[in-house]
C-alpha cells in the first residue's frame, strides 16, 4: 500500500535509522561485486543492475537452467486501463462491492451501509491466495480465493452528497476491510467464476469478526482493554497487506499500517509507556476518523488497543465457522507478508518483512514439527517457536539474531520483562540485538526449488547513509535482496546478494521501480509487482507486474507484463498450480497523484475520478478488483 495518506504519515520511526554503517555504493561494488558485470553509471539516479553475486551461489546460478519469459513486453505508460501482452486475455473476476452470497445485496455506491458491505467483496484488495478444492489437489478447477482488503480511502468510497454521517462512513470502512474468502470455479474455457452460493464464502471484517489470540502475548496485561479484560478476544483485523498460504492449507493475513486507525494521541497520557511505544508505529502523524466514533481507537481512552494489532493472523478457509487466530509468536510490527515453508528438518519456517523505513526482516521457526497426517496439530505450528531478526554483514554473510527473552540483551535492564514484551515490542528487540535497518521490507518469497529467499525492499527516500544491504542513499526505486539458504532454513547464517536495483524506467528497458509483492509461478520463475506511490510520476509508468530473471546472464532483468490503470497499484498476484491462470489485484485505481497525469491533471474524487475502471460507467466509481489472466489454456 502506498498512497497520499501514507506519503504524509509513513515516516521513519526507528531511532537507529541513520545510525548504521557508512558504506558507499562504490565500496560495496569494490568489496563484494567486483567479479561481476556492472551495467551503467554509478550515480544514484541512474543506478545500475548488478548481475550475479558475492555469495558463492553464483556458481550454482550459472549452472541453473535459464528460465525465459516468452511474452512480448508491453509498452510503458499511464492511462485509464489495464494492459497485458498479445496472446493473453484479461477478465475481471471480482470487484469491490460484488455480492458474496446469493441473497447478498448488489453494489449500490449511493446506498451503501455497513451491513451490506459486510456481505460484499471488500475494498482495496491486496494479497491473493488460492486454496484448492478439494484440499491438497494439484490441478483443481475449483478453489477458495483468499483476499486481503487493506485500507479505506474515504474520498474515493463515498459520494460527497452528505447522505452518510461520519459514523456511517467509519462503520462501512471497517466492514470493507479485512478479508474475503470466495469459492471460484474454472469453466471449460479456462475462465474462473465466483460461486455465489458457496457455503465457504465469508467475510472477515474489522467491524465485527471475533478473533482469538495465542502465543506468548496472549492474555498479557498489555493486550487487555476495558472491552476485553481477557486480552484474548479481539474484534477484527485490518490493514491486511500481503500474506501467505501455509503448507497445511491455511491463509495468513498480515496487519501492516495499523497506526492509521489510532487517534487523539495528543490528549493521551504521555507518561504511559504504551503511548510512547505507539510512536514507534508512526501514530500521531495521520489518523483516519474512526477514533471519533469508537473509543477503542482513541489512544486516550484505550491505550492498549494498538497492541492488539500488528500481528500475523491465520484463517482456515476450509472451515467457514473457524475463528481466525492472531499469532503473537511471530512478533508485532507492520507485517507485510508471511511466507512459510517446511524445512528439511520438518519444522515450519516463516519469513516476514516489516514495511517501514529502516525496519527489519524476520524469520520464525516452529517449536513443533509439521505432520502431514495431522492437520489439526499443524494448525498450532505458528503458536510456539523462535523468532529471529536479520543482520547483514559486509563479508556477504548474514546472521539470524534470536529474539528470546533473557538472550542477546533482551532483559529487564533493557525494558523486557517477559517473552510477551519481546513479541509486542519486536521492533525494539530488533534494535537491541543489532538487526540491519532495511529500505522498507515488503514481500518475501521462497524459491520453490533452491530455497533462496527473495526480499522486496520497496524504497527509502529517507536514507542518508548507505549500509551494506541498502547501499543506495535516497533510494527512491528500491531493490531486491536474495538470501541463499542452501535449503537449510534452520541455519543461523546464510549468504546474500542483491538481485536487482529498481530503476527509473526508460534508462534501461524493462527495469522495475519499487518492488512490492512477489510470487513464483509453476515453473519457479519470479514475478514482482510494484508500488511506486507518488514516484510513478518520476518513471512515467503506472504500477505493474514484472517477470524477473533470477539466473544466467540476464539475471536481474525485469520485463513488464501487466500495467494497472492510472493511480492504481498492482498488489497481490497468485498463480494457479498449473500456472494457466494468474490472478492479479488492482488496488486503489484513480487514487495516487492523478493531478500529475496530463490526461487528467487534478486530484481524483468519488464523483470525479481519473478513471472509472473497470466498469467505465457514468456514476460508477473506480473499483479495486481482481483480474484473471489466461493464455488460451497454455501456461502463463
Residue 497 binds what, of Ca ion, ligand FEO, none (CB under 5 to 8 Å, by partner type)? Answer: none
Nearest CA among 185, 184, 165 for reference residue 173: 165
Residue 256 binds what, of Ca ion, ligand FEO, none (CB under 5 to 8 Å, by partner type)? Answer: ligand FEO
Residue 589 CA to residue 427 CA, distance in Å, equals 32
Q: How many residues bind ligand FEO (CB under 6 A)?
A: 8
- CB of 312 vs Ca ion, minimal distance in Å: 14
> Whose grid coordinates read 452460493?
197
Residue 261 binds what, of ligand FEO, Ca ion, none (CB under 5 to 8 Å, by partner type)? Answer: none
Give phi and psi for 202, each to the nearest 5: -160, 140
Give phi and psi for 232, each to the nearest 5: -130, -5
Query: Please, which residues have CB within 8 angstroms of residue 68's CB and are 6 or more apart in sequence?
Result: 549
Upper half-sphere CA count for residue 517 (Cβ side, 13 Å): 30
Residue 294 binds what, of Ca ion, ligand FEO, none (CB under 5 to 8 Å, by partner type)? Answer: none
Nearest CA among 420, 412, 436 for reference residue 362: 436
Among 6, 140, 181, 241, binds Ca ion (CB under 5 A): 241
Residue 425 binds what, of Ca ion, ligand FEO, none (CB under 5 to 8 Å, by partner type)? Answer: none
Residue 406 CA to residue 421 CA, distance in Å, equals 11
Largest CA distance in the chain: 65
* Cβ pair 421, 393 in contact under 8 A: no
- CB of 243 vs Ca ion, minimal distance in Å: 8
> Whose grid coordinates read 504511559?
272
Among 214, 316, 336, 402, binds ligand FEO (CB under 6 A): 336
Concatenate the DSSP letters of all residues of 472-530 into one string.
-SSBSS-EEEEEE-TT-TT-SEEEEEEEEE---BTTBTT--SSEEEEEE-TTS-EEEEE
- CB of 161 vs ligand FEO, minimal distance in Å: 30
What's 572-584 look like in SS3? EEEECCCCCEEEE
Closer to Ca ion at the Cβ: 306 or 519? 519
Closer to Ca ion at the Cβ: 231 or 353? 353
Residues β-bridged to residue 627: 92, 584
Q: Which residue is nearest to Ca ion (CB)?
A: 531
- Binding status of residue 146 toward Ca ion by CB under 5 A: no
Peptide bond before residue 614 is cis, with ω within 30 degrees of 0:
yes
Among 173, 255, 355, 551, binds ligand FEO (CB under 6 A): 355
- Binding status of residue 338 toward ligand FEO by CB under 6 A: no
- Binding status of residue 256 toward ligand FEO by CB under 6 A: yes
Residue 377 CA to residue 558 CA, distance in Å, equals 41
Among 516, 521, 543, 551, binds Ca ion (CB under 5 A): 516
Residue 305 binds what, of ligand FEO, Ca ion, none (CB under 5 to 8 Å, by partner type)? Answer: none
- Binding status of residue 442 toward ligand FEO by CB under 6 A: yes
Q: How many CB atoms within 10 Å of residue 509?
A: 12
Q: How many residues bind Ca ion (CB under 5 A)?
A: 7
Radius of gyration of the chain (CA): 23
Among 183, 316, 439, 443, binds Ca ion (CB under 5 A): 443
- Binding status of residue 445 toward ligand FEO by CB under 6 A: no
Give phi and psi for 609, each to the nearest 5: -90, 155
* Cβ pair 503, 61 in contact under 8 A: no
- CB of 519 vs Ca ion, minimal distance in Å: 5
Per-residue binding string, ligand FEO, 451-490, x by CB under 6 A, is: ----------------------------------------
Site for ligand FEO in 235-254 (CB under 6 A): 241
Closer to Ca ion at the Cβ: 280 or 459? 459
Vertex 139, ends 137 and 140: CA angle to 5°? 70
Residue 316 CA to residue 376 CA, distance in Å, equals 11
Closer to ligand FEO at the Cβ: 505 or 587? 587
Closer to Ca ion at the Cβ: 2 or 542? 2
- Binding status of residue 531 toward Ca ion by CB under 5 A: yes
Strands (E), 83-239: 89-95, 125-132, 142-149, 178-186, 192-194, 202-205, 210-214, 233-235
Closer to Ca ion at the Cβ: 353 or 385? 353
Closer to ligand FEO at the Cβ: 52 or 337? 337
Length of the chain: 636
Per CB under 5 A, the segment of 35-43, 245-253, 406-414, 435-443 that binds Ca ion is 435-443
Site for ligand FEO in 140-159 (CB under 6 A): 150
Site for Ca ion in 61-120 (CB under 5 A): none
- Binding status of residue 1 toward ligand FEO by CB under 6 A: yes
Closer to ligand FEO at the Cβ: 58 or 442? 442
Residues that bind Ca ion (CB under 5 A): 2, 241, 443, 516, 518-519, 531
Residues that bind ligand FEO (CB under 6 A): 1, 150, 241, 256, 336, 355, 442, 516
Amino acid at each position: 500500500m502506498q498512497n497520499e495518506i501514507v506519503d504524509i504519515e509513513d515516516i521513519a520511526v526507528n531511532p537507529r535509522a541513520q545510525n548504521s554503517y557508512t558504506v558507499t555504493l562504490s565500496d560495496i561494488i569494490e568489496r563484494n561485486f567486483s567479479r561481476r558485470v556492472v551495467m551503467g553509471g554509478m550515480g544514484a539516479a541512474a543506478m545500475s543492475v548488478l548481475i550475479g553475486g558475492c555469495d558463492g551461489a553464483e556458481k550454482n546460478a550459472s549452472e541453473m537452467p535459464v528460465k525465459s519469459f516468452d511474452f512480448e513486453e508491453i509498452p510503458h505508460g499511464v492511462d485509464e486501463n489495464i494492459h497485458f501482452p498479445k496472446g493473453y486475455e484479461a477478465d475481471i473476476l471480482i470487484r469491490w462491492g460484488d455480492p458474496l452470497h446469493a441473497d447478498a445485496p448488489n453494489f449500490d455506491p449511493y446506498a451503501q451501509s455497513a451491513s451490506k458491505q459486510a456481505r460484499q467483496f471488500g475494498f482495496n484488495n491486496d494479497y491473493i491466495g488460492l486454496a484448492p478444492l478439494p484440499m491438497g489437489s494439484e490441478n483443481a478447477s475449483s478453489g477458495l480465493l483468499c483476499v486481503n482488503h487493506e485500507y479505506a480511502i474515504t474520498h474515493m468510497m463515498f459520494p460527497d452528497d452528505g447522505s452518510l454521517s461520519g459514523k456511517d462512513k467509519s462503520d462501512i470502512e471497517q466492514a470493507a476491510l479485512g478479508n474475503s474468502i470466495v469459492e471460484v470455479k474454472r469453466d471449460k474455457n479456462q475462465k474462473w467464476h465466483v460461486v455465489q452460493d458457496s457455503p465457504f464464502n465469508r467475510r472477515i471484517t474489522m467491524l465485527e469478526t471475533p478473533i482469538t489470540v495465542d502465543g506468548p502475548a496472549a492474555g498479557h496485561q498489555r493486550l487487555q482493554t476495558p472491552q476485553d479484560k481477557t486480552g484474548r478476544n479481539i474484534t477484527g483485523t485490518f490493514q491486511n497487506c500481503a500474506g501467505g498460504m501455509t503448507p497445511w492449507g491455511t491463509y495468513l493475513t498480515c496487519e501492516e499500517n495499523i497506526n492509521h486507525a489510532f487517534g487523539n494521541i495528543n490528549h493521551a497520557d504521555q507518561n504511559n509507556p504504551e503511548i510512547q511505544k505507539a510512536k514507534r508505529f508512526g501514530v500521531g502523524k495521520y489518523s483516519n476518523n474512526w477514533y471519533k466514533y469508537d473509543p477503542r481507537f482513541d489512544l486516550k481512552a484505550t491505550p492498549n488497543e494498538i497492541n492488539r494489532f500488528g500481528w500475523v493472523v491465520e484463517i482456515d478457509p476450509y472451515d467457514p465457522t473457524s475463528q481466525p487466530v492472531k499469532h503473537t509468536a511471530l512478533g508485532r510490527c507492520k507485517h507485510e507478508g508471511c511466507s512459510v515453508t517446511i524445512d528439511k528438518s520438518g519444522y515450519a519456517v516463516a519469513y516476514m518483512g516489516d514495511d517501514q523505513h529502516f525496519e527489519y526482516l524476520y524469520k520464525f521457526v516452529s517449536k513443533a514439527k509439521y505432520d502431514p497426517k495431522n492437520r489439526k496439530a499443524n494448525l498450532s505450528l505458528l503458536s510456539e517457536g523462535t523468532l529471529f531478526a536479520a543482520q547483514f554483514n559486509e563479508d556477504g554473510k548474514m546472521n539470524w539474531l534470536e529474539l528470546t527473552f533473557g538472550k542477546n540483551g533482551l532483559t529487564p535492564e533493557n525494558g523486557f520483562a517477559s517473552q510477551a514484551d519481546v513479541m509486542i515490542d519486536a521492533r525494539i528487540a530488533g534494535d537491541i540485538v543489532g538487526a540491519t535497518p532495511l529500505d522498507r521490507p515488503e514481500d518475501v518469497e521462497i524459491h520453490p526449488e533452491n530455497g533462496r529467499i527473495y526480499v522486496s525492499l520497496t524504497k527509502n527516500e529517507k536514507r542518508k547513509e548507505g549500509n551494506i544491504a541498502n547501499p543506495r542513499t535516497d533510494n527512491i526505486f528500491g531493490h531486491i535482496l536474495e538470501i541463499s539458504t542452501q535449503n537449510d532454513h534452520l541455519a543461523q547464517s546464510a549468504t546474500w546478494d542483491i538481485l536487482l536495483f529498481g530503476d527509473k524506467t526508460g534508462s534501461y528497458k524493462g527495469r522495475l521501480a519499487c518492488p512490492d509483492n512477489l510470487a513464483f509461478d509453476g515453473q519457479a520463475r519470479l514475478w514482482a509487482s510494484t508500488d511506486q506511490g507518488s514516484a510513478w510520476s518520476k518513471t512515467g509508468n503506472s504500477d505493474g507486474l514484472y517477470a524477473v530473471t533470477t539466473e544466467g546472464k540476464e539475471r536481474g532483468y525485469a520485463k513488464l507484463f501487466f500495467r494497472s490503470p492510472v493511480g492504481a497499484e498492482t498488489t497481490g498476484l497468485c498463480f494457479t498450480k498449473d500456472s494457466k491462470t494468474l490472478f492479479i489485484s488492482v488496488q486503489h485505481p484513480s487514487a495516487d497523484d492523478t493531478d500529475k497525469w496530463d490526461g487528467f491533471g487534478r486530484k481524483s474524487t468519488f464523483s470525479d475520478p481519473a478513471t472509472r475502471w473497470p466498469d467505465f460507467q457514468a456514476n460508477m466509481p473506480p473499483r479495486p478488483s481482481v483480474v484473471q489472466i489466461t493464455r488460451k489454456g497454455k501456461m502463463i
